[in-house]
Chains A and B, each alone.
Chain A
Amino acid sequence: MNAKKVTSYVIRLILWTLVIAFFFWAISENMFGKIFEEPGKFMELLGRHLELVSISAGLAILTSVPLGILITRPSFRRSEWLIVNIANLGQTIPSLAVLALAMGFLGIGLKAAIVALYIYSLLPILQNTIAGLDSVRPEMKDAAKGMGLTPAQVLFKIELPAAASSIIAGIRTAVVLNIGTAALAYLIGGGGLGVWIFTGIQLFDNQTLISGAVPVTLLAVLVDLLFRGIEYLLVPKGIRLARKSAMESV
């Protein structure tokens, strides 16, 4: 074991200690008390939070992945740079602004929140779907075509497996951002765990605040991990090897 490894372990240890210290402190100060005092309410807020995220992100996946596939077909190629630029531009718009704009047009309520979250999730998925499909080497598609694969077979057997990791990464980014943005949905009457966070801030009630903020954080971090796991399982082994050897050759 060399000094560089030791430094890395020490830093890791310090960070873990900080996290554990935080939880130790929070528990000893009964910061999570609210969850145990009102478990029903907690489950309701968590349920609403998950509902907001899954409906909006689910619809966004169902829109963006097929759209990304469509745009990368030869007959739509010319519109691609336009869509990619719109996607880049659209992603600079802050999440709070998207929510505020949705409220401006749709008023307050669950529907406005879902629409805002849906729109906010579209672009990262679309962008990554297009980037993933574009990264498939042309000679690969050429070889497939030359061997007599139909366009649909080229898409499903060659292009989508090669683009899978990029598409899933886009979905992961979108869902994690969505979980955070859903915490703001309270502001436009969407409910969710944001209710406790904002109530806590307004009332200087740390217990309520932490009982909302920590679960949202854990949710985001765990979902991120979950999707990394899915990515590992869904991306074909050969593609992983290909990427590994590409990275080593850099």
Chain B
Amino acid sequence: MTDFLNYVQREWGTIFSYTLEHLQLVGIAIVIAILIGVPLGIYLTTNKYLAETILQVASIIITIPSIALFGIMIPVLSMIGQGIGFLPALIALVLYSQLPIIRNTYTAIQNVDPNIRDAAKGIGMTTFQRLTKVEIPNALPLIMAGVRTATVLNIGIGAIAAFIGSGGLGVLINSGISRGNSNMVLAGAVFVSLLALVADFILKFIQARITPKGIK
């Protein structure tokens, strides 16, 4: 135990920079995933056939083991010279984020009380006004919950992405195993877990804050 603490103290700088690298990967992936998933989720509420198809596909994607997805992407992306590194990791994280984000957005918008929607129509709001003033604010907490699920998931998968050279805290686990340095492995495991727990906590807090008082 003291061994481990000494290691953390000594390697603090390295651990910190890996954490930043990890956050960078996950952060960029989540932003892209939101930019795709939220509009798509909203659009799908207008076409239930397409919604069924997309949600099915997203739920199949999420069952694919991450290391296997990385494996499948390597030869495919090698054709454009990007088999390993940041890009395949980013693509995988964006794909995995789609199910929680699309599904939650779709469900949230659909679950907005029809009476509220009717009332909004009744007072003469346009479709766009209805969306921005009524539906999205009411749906936001659930969308945020999807983002939180996706973020926690991505932090975990981001650690596995280190095996295809994307950097981040997974590197500690990877190199630790190959060098037989158990302190390094442990540091990787502990810090990636802490990162996930802290992210979960912060996003839960934000989720609570953005929930309109009336629908708590």
* Interface flag for B139 (CB, 8 Å): no
Flag B32-74 by CB within 8 Å of A: 1 or 0 each.
0000000000000011111011100100100111111111101
Contact B68 A216 (CB under 8 A): yes
List B contacts of A97 (CB < 8 A).
Answer: 156, 159, 173, 188-190, 192-193, 196
Contact A187-B177, Cβ < 8 Å, known A97-B189, A100-B185, A100-B189? yes
Measured CA separation A209–B196 after assembly (Å):
29
List B contacts of A242 (CB < 8 A).
Answer: none
Measured CA separation A212–B74 after assembly (Å):
13
List A contacts of B212 (CB < 8 A).
Answer: none
Contact B160 A15 (CB under 8 A): no
Which residues 165-208 of B sit at the A interface, judged by CB distance below 8 A? 170, 173, 176-177, 182, 185-186, 188-190, 192-193, 196-197, 200
Contact A210-B186, Cβ < 8 Å, known A8-B52, A217-B64, A250-B111? no
List B contacts of A180 (CB < 8 A).
Answer: 64-68
List A contacts of B84 (CB < 8 A).
Answer: 201
* Interface flag for A155 (CB, 8 Å): no
* Interface flag for A12 (CB, 8 Å): yes
List A contacts of B152 (CB < 8 A).
Answer: 92
Contact A89-B66, Cβ < 8 Å, known A206-B74, A210-B75? no
* Interface flag for B99 (CB, 8 Å): no
* Interface flag for A4 (CB, 8 Å): yes
Contact A220-B185, Cβ < 8 Å, known A8-B47, A8-B49, A96-B192? no
* Interface flag for A152 (CB, 8 Å): no
* Interface flag for A191 (CB, 8 Å): no
What is the interface of chain B mostly: helix, strand, loop, or mixed? Answer: helix
CB closest residue in chain B, given A97: B189
Q: How far is the CB of B45 from chain A (nearest CB, A)?
A: 12
* Interface flag for B28 (CB, 8 Å): no
Measured CA separation A213–B88 after assembly (Å):
15
Q: How far is the CB of A178 from chain B (nearest CB, A)?
A: 10
* Interface flag for A126 (CB, 8 Å): no
* Interface flag for B210 (CB, 8 Å): no
Flag B134-170 by CB within 8 Å of A: 1 or 0 each.
0000000000000000001001110110011000001
* Interface flag for B76 (CB, 8 Å): yes
Contact A96-B75, Cβ < 8 Å, known A184-B67, A217-B68? no
Contact A179-B65, Cβ < 8 Å, known A100-B173, A209-B75? yes
List B contacts of A187 (CB < 8 A).
Answer: 173, 177
Which residues 168-226 of A sit at the B interface, judged by CB distance below 8 A? 176, 179-181, 183-184, 187-188, 194, 197-198, 200-201, 206, 209-210, 212-214, 216-217, 220-221, 224
CB closest residue in chain A, given B46: A4
* Interface flag for B78 (CB, 8 Å): yes
Flag A103-128 by CB within 8 Å of B: 1 or 0 each.
11000000000000000000000000
Contact A220 B160 (CB under 8 A): no
Which residues 44-96 of A sit at the B interface, judged by CB distance below 8 A? 89, 92-96
Flag A1-13 by CB within 8 Å of B: 1 or 0 each.
0001101100110
Contact B155 A183 (CB under 8 A): no
Contact B50 A216 (CB under 8 A): no
Measured CA separation A159–B172 after assembly (Å):
46
Contact B182 A104 (CB under 8 A): yes
* Interface flag for A22 (CB, 8 Å): yes
CB closest residue in chain A, given B111: A250
List B contacts of A198 (CB < 8 A).
Answer: 67, 163
Binding site for A on B (CB under 8 A): 46-50, 52-54, 57, 60, 63-72, 74-76, 78, 84, 111, 152, 155-157, 159-160, 163-164, 170, 173, 176-177, 182, 185-186, 188-190, 192-193, 196-197, 200
What are 12 sample pairs from A and B whose C-beta atoms fall under 8 A apart?
A4-B48, A29-B75, A89-B200, A93-B193, A97-B193, A97-B196, A100-B173, A100-B188, A103-B185, A180-B66, A210-B72, A216-B67
* A-B contacts besides A7-B50, A179-B65, A206-B75, 9 pairs, CB < 8 Å: A8-B47, A94-B156, A95-B156, A96-B160, A98-B189, A103-B177, A197-B71, A200-B71, A217-B69
